[in-house]
Chain A
Amino acid sequence: MTRYLHLSAFMAALLFATAAGAVEPRSGYDFLPPEFQAMQDDPFENPGMFTVDLGRELFNAPGDDGTSCATCHGADGEQLRPARIARYPVFSPKLNGPVTLQKQIDLCREERMNEFPLTYDDPSLVALETFVRHRARGEPVKVDVSGPMQPYYKEGERLFRTRIGQLQMACSHCHEQYTGAMLRDQLLNQAQTNAFPTHRLLTQDISSLHRKLRDCFATLRAMPFQPGSEEYINLEVYMNARGNGLPIETPGIRR
Protein backbone atom coordinates (compact mmCIF):
# COMPACT_ATOMS: atom_id res chain seq x y z
CA MET A 1 0.00 0.00 0.00
CA THR A 2 2.78 2.40 0.96
CA ARG A 3 4.27 2.11 -2.50
CA TYR A 4 1.36 4.10 -3.82
CA LEU A 5 1.73 6.93 -1.36
CA HIS A 6 4.09 8.88 -3.58
CA LEU A 7 1.25 9.10 -6.06
CA SER A 8 -1.12 10.93 -3.77
CA ALA A 9 -0.07 14.40 -4.87
CA PHE A 10 -0.71 13.90 -8.54
CA MET A 11 -3.82 11.82 -7.81
CA ALA A 12 -5.20 14.87 -6.06
CA ALA A 13 -4.19 16.95 -9.07
CA LEU A 14 -5.92 14.47 -11.34
CA LEU A 15 -9.15 14.57 -9.39
CA PHE A 16 -9.03 18.32 -9.61
CA ALA A 17 -8.37 18.15 -13.35
CA THR A 18 -11.29 15.75 -13.81
CA ALA A 19 -13.55 18.11 -11.94
CA ALA A 20 -12.38 20.92 -14.17
CA GLY A 21 -13.30 18.86 -17.25
CA ALA A 22 -9.94 18.70 -19.03
CA VAL A 23 -7.49 15.97 -18.08
CA GLU A 24 -3.82 16.30 -18.82
CA PRO A 25 -2.55 13.05 -20.37
CA ARG A 26 -0.51 10.99 -17.90
CA SER A 27 1.47 7.97 -18.94
CA GLY A 28 0.60 4.67 -17.28
CA TYR A 29 4.24 4.77 -16.17
CA ASP A 30 3.31 7.36 -13.54
CA PHE A 31 0.84 4.89 -12.04
CA LEU A 32 3.37 2.04 -11.76
CA PRO A 33 5.01 1.11 -8.46
CA PRO A 34 8.68 2.22 -8.50
CA GLU A 35 10.03 -1.31 -8.94
CA PHE A 36 8.16 -1.70 -12.24
CA GLN A 37 9.20 1.77 -13.38
CA ALA A 38 12.79 0.67 -12.75
CA MET A 39 12.15 -2.57 -14.66
CA GLN A 40 10.85 -0.63 -17.66
CA ASP A 41 13.78 1.80 -17.57
CA ASP A 42 16.50 -0.87 -17.47
CA PRO A 43 16.94 -2.50 -20.89
CA PHE A 44 18.53 -5.53 -19.22
CA GLU A 45 15.57 -5.97 -16.86
CA ASN A 46 12.76 -5.07 -19.27
CA PRO A 47 11.36 -8.36 -20.66
CA GLY A 48 9.90 -6.45 -23.62
CA MET A 49 13.44 -6.04 -24.94
CA PHE A 50 13.40 -9.69 -25.99
CA THR A 51 10.62 -8.79 -28.39
CA VAL A 52 12.54 -5.74 -29.58
CA ASP A 53 15.51 -8.00 -30.35
CA LEU A 54 13.29 -10.49 -32.17
CA GLY A 55 11.77 -7.62 -34.15
CA ARG A 56 15.24 -6.33 -35.03
CA GLU A 57 16.19 -9.76 -36.42
CA LEU A 58 13.02 -9.91 -38.50
CA PHE A 59 13.60 -6.34 -39.67
CA ASN A 60 17.07 -7.16 -40.96
CA ALA A 61 16.28 -10.66 -42.30
CA PRO A 62 15.96 -10.89 -46.11
CA GLY A 63 12.82 -12.52 -47.50
CA ASP A 64 12.58 -14.86 -50.50
CA ASP A 65 13.35 -12.08 -52.97
CA GLY A 66 16.41 -10.96 -51.03
CA THR A 67 14.91 -7.71 -49.72
CA SER A 68 14.27 -6.84 -46.08
CA CYS A 69 12.87 -3.89 -44.17
CA ALA A 70 16.50 -2.79 -43.85
CA THR A 71 16.76 -2.49 -47.66
CA CYS A 72 14.71 0.71 -47.52
CA HIS A 73 15.02 1.75 -43.86
CA GLY A 74 18.70 0.98 -43.17
CA ALA A 75 20.28 -1.68 -41.00
CA ASP A 76 18.49 -1.79 -37.63
CA GLY A 77 16.08 0.79 -39.06
CA GLU A 78 18.52 3.65 -38.56
CA GLN A 79 16.79 5.65 -41.28
CA LEU A 80 13.38 5.33 -39.69
CA ARG A 81 12.21 8.72 -38.56
CA PRO A 82 10.84 8.82 -34.98
CA ALA A 83 8.58 11.76 -35.77
CA ARG A 84 6.84 9.73 -38.48
CA ILE A 85 6.44 6.69 -36.24
CA ALA A 86 4.82 8.93 -33.61
CA ARG A 87 2.13 10.03 -36.08
CA TYR A 88 0.43 6.63 -36.43
CA PRO A 89 -2.34 5.81 -37.13
CA VAL A 90 -2.34 7.97 -40.25
CA PHE A 91 -4.93 8.38 -42.99
CA SER A 92 -4.30 6.35 -46.12
CA PRO A 93 -5.94 7.78 -49.24
CA LYS A 94 -5.34 4.43 -50.92
CA LEU A 95 -7.24 2.46 -48.27
CA ASN A 96 -9.54 5.42 -47.63
CA GLY A 97 -9.15 4.93 -43.90
CA PRO A 98 -6.73 4.89 -40.99
CA VAL A 99 -3.63 2.71 -41.12
CA THR A 100 -2.05 1.61 -37.86
CA LEU A 101 1.70 1.23 -37.52
CA GLN A 102 1.37 -2.55 -37.45
CA LYS A 103 -0.80 -2.54 -40.57
CA GLN A 104 1.67 -0.25 -42.35
CA ILE A 105 4.48 -2.72 -41.58
CA ASP A 106 2.41 -5.55 -43.05
CA LEU A 107 1.56 -3.45 -46.14
CA CYS A 108 5.26 -2.68 -46.60
CA ARG A 109 6.10 -6.39 -46.47
CA GLU A 110 3.40 -7.14 -49.02
CA GLU A 111 4.12 -4.29 -51.42
CA ARG A 112 7.90 -3.95 -51.18
CA MET A 113 8.98 -7.51 -50.34
CA ASN A 114 6.31 -9.55 -52.13
CA GLU A 115 5.40 -11.29 -48.89
CA PHE A 116 1.96 -12.63 -48.11
CA PRO A 117 0.09 -10.41 -45.67
CA LEU A 118 -0.07 -11.77 -42.14
CA THR A 119 -3.02 -11.97 -39.77
CA TYR A 120 -3.37 -8.91 -37.55
CA ASP A 121 -1.40 -9.42 -34.32
CA ASP A 122 0.64 -12.23 -35.81
CA PRO A 123 3.61 -12.56 -33.42
CA SER A 124 6.03 -11.54 -36.19
CA LEU A 125 4.09 -8.35 -36.86
CA VAL A 126 3.85 -7.53 -33.16
CA ALA A 127 7.63 -8.04 -32.86
CA LEU A 128 8.27 -5.78 -35.86
CA GLU A 129 5.87 -3.17 -34.51
CA THR A 130 7.57 -3.33 -31.10
CA PHE A 131 11.00 -2.91 -32.69
CA VAL A 132 9.94 -0.03 -34.93
CA ARG A 133 8.10 1.82 -32.18
CA HIS A 134 11.05 1.29 -29.85
CA ARG A 135 13.12 3.22 -32.41
CA ALA A 136 10.91 6.21 -31.55
CA ARG A 137 11.28 5.88 -27.76
CA GLY A 138 11.03 9.32 -26.20
CA GLU A 139 9.35 10.88 -29.22
CA PRO A 140 6.08 12.61 -28.30
CA VAL A 141 2.96 10.97 -29.76
CA LYS A 142 1.51 13.26 -32.41
CA VAL A 143 -1.54 11.88 -34.18
CA ASP A 144 -3.25 14.34 -36.51
CA VAL A 145 -7.01 13.93 -36.28
CA SER A 146 -7.92 17.33 -37.68
CA GLY A 147 -8.53 16.25 -41.27
CA PRO A 148 -9.83 13.02 -42.79
CA MET A 149 -9.05 11.15 -39.53
CA GLN A 150 -11.72 13.12 -37.67
CA PRO A 151 -14.63 10.65 -38.22
CA TYR A 152 -12.51 7.69 -37.06
CA TYR A 153 -11.41 9.63 -34.00
CA LYS A 154 -15.03 10.48 -33.20
CA GLU A 155 -16.12 6.88 -33.69
CA GLY A 156 -13.29 5.67 -31.45
CA GLU A 157 -14.33 8.11 -28.76
CA ARG A 158 -17.94 6.98 -29.05
CA LEU A 159 -16.87 3.37 -28.42
CA PHE A 160 -14.58 4.50 -25.58
CA ARG A 161 -17.67 5.94 -23.90
CA THR A 162 -20.05 3.05 -24.68
CA ARG A 163 -21.09 0.69 -21.89
CA ILE A 164 -20.23 -2.86 -22.94
CA GLY A 165 -20.88 -6.38 -21.75
CA GLN A 166 -22.67 -7.78 -18.75
CA LEU A 167 -20.81 -5.35 -16.46
CA GLN A 168 -22.12 -2.34 -18.45
CA MET A 169 -19.02 -0.22 -18.07
CA ALA A 170 -17.31 1.99 -20.62
CA CYS A 171 -13.54 2.47 -20.94
CA SER A 172 -14.14 6.04 -19.79
CA HIS A 173 -15.60 4.96 -16.44
CA CYS A 174 -12.39 3.44 -15.12
CA HIS A 175 -9.85 5.32 -17.20
CA GLU A 176 -11.27 8.83 -17.11
CA GLN A 177 -13.91 9.18 -14.39
CA TYR A 178 -12.05 7.11 -11.76
CA THR A 179 -8.42 7.49 -12.72
CA GLY A 180 -6.38 7.38 -9.52
CA ALA A 181 -8.92 5.25 -7.60
CA MET A 182 -8.24 1.69 -6.47
CA LEU A 183 -10.03 -1.25 -8.09
CA ARG A 184 -9.16 -3.60 -5.25
CA ASP A 185 -5.34 -3.55 -5.39
CA GLN A 186 -5.20 -2.04 -8.88
CA LEU A 187 -4.55 1.67 -9.26
CA LEU A 188 -6.66 2.84 -12.21
CA ASN A 189 -4.66 4.67 -14.87
CA GLN A 190 -5.75 6.65 -17.94
CA ALA A 191 -5.41 3.74 -20.39
CA GLN A 192 -2.82 5.65 -22.39
CA THR A 193 -1.28 3.82 -25.34
CA ASN A 194 2.21 5.34 -25.47
CA ALA A 195 3.92 2.20 -24.08
CA PHE A 196 2.35 -0.27 -26.55
CA PRO A 197 3.20 -2.89 -27.57
CA THR A 198 3.94 -3.43 -23.91
CA HIS A 199 5.12 -6.23 -21.65
CA ARG A 200 2.21 -7.27 -19.44
CA LEU A 201 2.85 -8.54 -15.95
CA LEU A 202 -0.35 -10.61 -15.83
CA THR A 203 0.33 -12.53 -19.02
CA GLN A 204 4.16 -12.28 -18.79
CA ASP A 205 4.21 -11.62 -22.49
CA ILE A 206 4.26 -8.81 -25.01
CA SER A 207 0.80 -7.41 -25.75
CA SER A 208 -0.34 -5.38 -28.70
CA LEU A 209 -2.93 -2.70 -28.03
CA HIS A 210 -5.64 -4.73 -29.75
CA ARG A 211 -4.90 -7.78 -27.62
CA LYS A 212 -5.19 -5.61 -24.51
CA LEU A 213 -8.51 -4.28 -25.78
CA ARG A 214 -9.71 -7.86 -26.22
CA ASP A 215 -8.75 -8.59 -22.62
CA CYS A 216 -10.59 -5.49 -21.41
CA PHE A 217 -13.71 -6.59 -23.27
CA ALA A 218 -13.40 -10.05 -21.69
CA THR A 219 -13.09 -8.50 -18.22
CA LEU A 220 -16.37 -6.70 -18.80
CA ARG A 221 -17.91 -9.98 -20.03
CA ALA A 222 -18.38 -8.49 -23.48
CA MET A 223 -17.97 -10.04 -26.92
CA PRO A 224 -14.61 -8.74 -28.08
CA PHE A 225 -13.95 -7.41 -31.55
CA GLN A 226 -11.14 -8.97 -33.54
CA PRO A 227 -7.60 -7.57 -33.58
CA GLY A 228 -7.38 -5.37 -36.66
CA SER A 229 -11.14 -4.76 -36.67
CA GLU A 230 -12.53 -1.39 -37.66
CA GLU A 231 -13.66 -0.91 -34.06
CA TYR A 232 -10.23 -1.48 -32.49
CA ILE A 233 -8.54 0.61 -35.18
CA ASN A 234 -10.93 3.48 -34.40
CA LEU A 235 -10.21 3.03 -30.70
CA GLU A 236 -6.47 3.13 -31.47
CA VAL A 237 -6.95 6.37 -33.40
CA TYR A 238 -8.85 7.94 -30.53
CA MET A 239 -6.67 6.58 -27.74
CA ASN A 240 -3.37 7.48 -29.40
CA ALA A 241 -4.60 10.98 -30.18
CA ARG A 242 -5.90 11.57 -26.66
CA GLY A 243 -2.36 10.81 -25.51
CA ASN A 244 -0.75 13.28 -27.91
CA GLY A 245 2.37 14.70 -26.33
CA LEU A 246 3.20 11.67 -24.19
CA PRO A 247 6.61 10.16 -24.96
CA ILE A 248 6.64 6.77 -26.66
CA GLU A 249 7.85 4.19 -24.11
CA THR A 250 7.70 0.97 -26.15
CA PRO A 251 8.23 -1.58 -24.76
CA GLY A 252 6.55 -0.53 -21.52
CA ILE A 253 5.77 -2.59 -18.44
CA ARG A 254 2.11 -2.66 -17.60
CA ARG A 255 -0.20 -4.72 -15.47
Chain B
Amino acid sequence: MDARLGPVLCASLLAAAPACAADYLPWRVTDSAIEEPLGGLRGDAARGRELVIARDKGNCLACHHLPIPEQPSHGTIGPPLMGVGARLSAGQLRLRVVDEKQLNPATIMPAFYLHPEALYRPRPDAATTILTAQELEDVVAYLTTLK
Protein backbone atom coordinates (compact mmCIF):
# COMPACT_ATOMS: atom_id res chain seq x y z
CA MET B 1 0.00 0.00 0.00
CA ASP B 2 2.75 2.43 0.96
CA ALA B 3 4.78 1.58 -2.10
CA ARG B 4 1.82 2.13 -4.38
CA LEU B 5 0.94 5.47 -2.83
CA GLY B 6 4.51 6.69 -2.50
CA PRO B 7 5.11 7.85 -6.07
CA VAL B 8 1.71 9.51 -6.14
CA LEU B 9 2.49 11.51 -3.03
CA CYS B 10 5.89 12.54 -4.22
CA ALA B 11 4.48 13.95 -7.44
CA SER B 12 3.82 17.08 -5.43
CA LEU B 13 6.51 18.97 -7.35
CA LEU B 14 4.07 18.93 -10.24
CA ALA B 15 0.89 19.71 -8.36
CA ALA B 16 0.38 22.08 -5.47
CA ALA B 17 0.22 19.18 -3.00
CA PRO B 18 1.68 19.36 0.52
CA ALA B 19 5.36 18.51 0.74
CA CYS B 20 6.48 14.93 1.13
CA ALA B 21 9.97 14.12 2.34
CA ALA B 22 11.52 14.51 -1.13
CA ASP B 23 10.48 18.11 -1.74
CA TYR B 24 10.50 19.49 1.80
CA LEU B 25 11.93 23.00 1.93
CA PRO B 26 14.48 23.91 4.60
CA TRP B 27 14.02 26.75 7.08
CA ARG B 28 16.19 28.37 9.72
CA VAL B 29 15.36 29.77 13.14
CA THR B 30 17.01 32.96 14.35
CA ASP B 31 15.87 34.75 17.53
CA SER B 32 12.64 32.75 17.85
CA ALA B 33 11.64 33.54 14.28
CA ILE B 34 11.95 32.28 10.70
CA GLU B 35 12.75 35.48 8.87
CA GLU B 36 13.05 34.06 5.35
CA PRO B 37 9.77 33.09 3.63
CA LEU B 38 9.74 29.38 2.72
CA GLY B 39 11.25 28.98 -0.74
CA GLY B 40 11.25 32.77 -1.03
CA LEU B 41 7.51 32.59 -1.74
CA ARG B 42 5.20 35.56 -1.36
CA GLY B 43 2.00 35.03 0.66
CA ASP B 44 -1.50 36.08 -0.36
CA ALA B 45 -3.48 37.29 2.68
CA ALA B 46 -6.92 36.78 1.10
CA ARG B 47 -6.07 33.20 0.24
CA GLY B 48 -4.62 32.82 3.74
CA ARG B 49 -7.94 33.81 5.29
CA GLU B 50 -9.65 31.01 3.33
CA LEU B 51 -7.00 28.50 4.47
CA VAL B 52 -7.43 29.55 8.09
CA ILE B 53 -11.13 28.63 7.82
CA ALA B 54 -10.79 25.43 5.76
CA ARG B 55 -11.18 22.41 8.03
CA ASP B 56 -8.89 20.24 5.91
CA LYS B 57 -6.17 22.92 5.77
CA GLY B 58 -5.41 25.38 8.57
CA ASN B 59 -8.61 24.74 10.54
CA CYS B 60 -7.31 27.42 12.91
CA LEU B 61 -10.87 28.13 14.15
CA ALA B 62 -10.91 24.70 15.76
CA CYS B 63 -8.73 26.11 18.53
CA HIS B 64 -8.42 29.90 18.07
CA HIS B 65 -10.80 32.84 18.15
CA LEU B 66 -10.25 34.94 15.02
CA PRO B 67 -11.90 38.06 13.58
CA ILE B 68 -13.92 35.90 11.17
CA PRO B 69 -17.49 36.67 12.29
CA GLU B 70 -19.26 34.71 9.55
CA GLN B 71 -17.93 31.46 11.03
CA PRO B 72 -19.66 30.13 14.19
CA SER B 73 -18.16 28.51 17.30
CA HIS B 74 -14.50 29.47 17.38
CA GLY B 75 -12.42 27.20 19.61
CA THR B 76 -11.00 28.16 23.00
CA ILE B 77 -8.00 25.84 23.14
CA GLY B 78 -5.39 28.31 21.88
CA PRO B 79 -5.08 32.04 22.54
CA PRO B 80 -7.35 34.42 20.58
CA LEU B 81 -5.51 35.75 17.52
CA MET B 82 -7.07 39.19 17.37
CA GLY B 83 -4.24 41.67 17.04
CA VAL B 84 -1.61 38.96 16.73
CA GLY B 85 -0.11 40.75 13.72
CA ALA B 86 0.64 43.71 15.97
CA ARG B 87 2.15 41.58 18.71
CA LEU B 88 4.36 39.36 16.54
CA SER B 89 6.48 39.94 13.47
CA ALA B 90 6.01 37.97 10.24
CA GLY B 91 9.09 35.93 11.11
CA GLN B 92 7.78 35.12 14.60
CA LEU B 93 4.39 34.15 13.18
CA ARG B 94 6.07 31.97 10.55
CA LEU B 95 7.95 29.95 13.18
CA ARG B 96 4.75 29.47 15.20
CA VAL B 97 2.85 28.11 12.21
CA VAL B 98 5.76 26.07 10.82
CA ASP B 99 6.45 24.40 14.18
CA GLU B 100 5.22 25.84 17.46
CA LYS B 101 6.93 22.93 19.23
CA GLN B 102 10.24 24.70 18.64
CA LEU B 103 9.03 27.21 21.25
CA ASN B 104 6.77 25.00 23.38
CA PRO B 105 7.53 21.28 23.10
CA ALA B 106 4.35 20.30 24.98
CA THR B 107 1.96 22.32 22.80
CA ILE B 108 -1.12 20.72 21.31
CA MET B 109 -0.63 22.84 18.18
CA PRO B 110 0.43 20.80 15.18
CA ALA B 111 3.46 21.89 13.17
CA PHE B 112 1.93 22.88 9.84
CA TYR B 113 5.23 22.40 8.04
CA LEU B 114 6.88 19.48 9.80
CA HIS B 115 9.28 17.18 8.01
CA PRO B 116 7.08 14.22 7.02
CA GLU B 117 9.63 11.73 8.34
CA ALA B 118 9.00 13.08 11.83
CA LEU B 119 5.36 11.93 11.75
CA TYR B 120 4.28 8.78 13.67
CA ARG B 121 1.84 6.53 11.80
CA PRO B 122 0.51 9.11 9.35
CA ARG B 123 -2.24 7.84 7.08
CA PRO B 124 -0.53 7.02 3.76
CA ASP B 125 -2.33 9.89 2.04
CA ALA B 126 -1.33 12.23 4.87
CA ALA B 127 2.40 11.50 5.10
CA THR B 128 3.08 15.11 4.13
CA THR B 129 3.21 18.55 5.64
CA ILE B 130 -0.27 19.83 6.54
CA LEU B 131 0.16 22.96 4.40
CA THR B 132 2.25 23.53 1.28
CA ALA B 133 4.99 26.12 1.52
CA GLN B 134 2.80 28.50 -0.48
CA GLU B 135 -0.20 27.89 1.78
CA LEU B 136 1.96 28.44 4.83
CA GLU B 137 3.11 31.80 3.46
CA ASP B 138 -0.52 32.69 2.66
CA VAL B 139 -1.53 32.00 6.28
CA VAL B 140 1.40 34.06 7.60
CA ALA B 141 0.45 36.90 5.25
CA TYR B 142 -3.12 36.82 6.61
CA LEU B 143 -1.99 36.75 10.24
CA THR B 144 0.22 39.80 9.72
CA THR B 145 -2.92 41.76 8.72
CA LEU B 146 -4.50 41.17 12.17
CA LYS B 147 -3.38 44.45 13.73
Contacts and interface: CB of A to CB of B under 8 A. Distances in A.
Given A165-B126, A221-B122, A221-B123, A184 B108 contact: no
A163 B108 CA distance: 9
B120 A183 contact: no
A204 interface: no
Interface string A171-184: 00110011001111
Contacts of A165: 119-123, 126
A166 B75 contact: no
Bin chain A's interface residue count: 20 to 34
B130 interface: yes
Given A166-B128, A168-B111, A183 B123 contact: no
B63 interface: yes
A173 B77 CA distance: 10
B97 interface: no
B93 interface: no
A169 B110 contact: yes
Given A173-B108, A222-B121, A223-B122, A167 B75 contact: no
Contact of B75 (A169, A182, A218): A182
Contacts of A185: 72-73
Contacts of B110: 166-169
B139 interface: no
Contact of B73 (A167, A174, A182, A188): A182
Contacts of B95: none
A172 to B, nearest CB: 9
Bin chain B's interface residue count: 20 to 34
B81 interface: no
B120 A162 contact: yes
Q: Chain A interface mostly helix, strand, loop or mixed?
A: loop
A218 B123 CA distance: 8
B109 to A, nearest CB: 9
Name, among B119, B128, B130, the residue most crowded by chain A CB atoms within 10 Å (CB to CB): B119
Given A166-B128, A168-B110, A169-B110, A222 B122 contact: yes
B126 A221 contact: yes
A167 B130 CA distance: 8
B118 to A, nearest CB: 8
Interface of A: 162-169, 173-174, 177-178, 181-185, 188, 217-218, 221-223
Given A165-B126, A182-B73, A188-B77, 11 more contacts: A166-B119, A167-B130, A168-B114, A177-B106, A181-B75, A182-B76, A183-B75, A184-B75, A221-B126, A222-B121, A223-B121
24 contacts: A163-B120, A164-B120, A165-B121, A166-B119, A166-B127, A166-B130, A168-B119, A168-B120, A169-B108, A169-B110, A173-B108, A178-B77, A178-B108, A182-B73, A182-B76, A183-B62, A183-B63, A184-B62, A184-B73, A185-B72, A221-B122, A221-B126, A223-B123, A223-B124
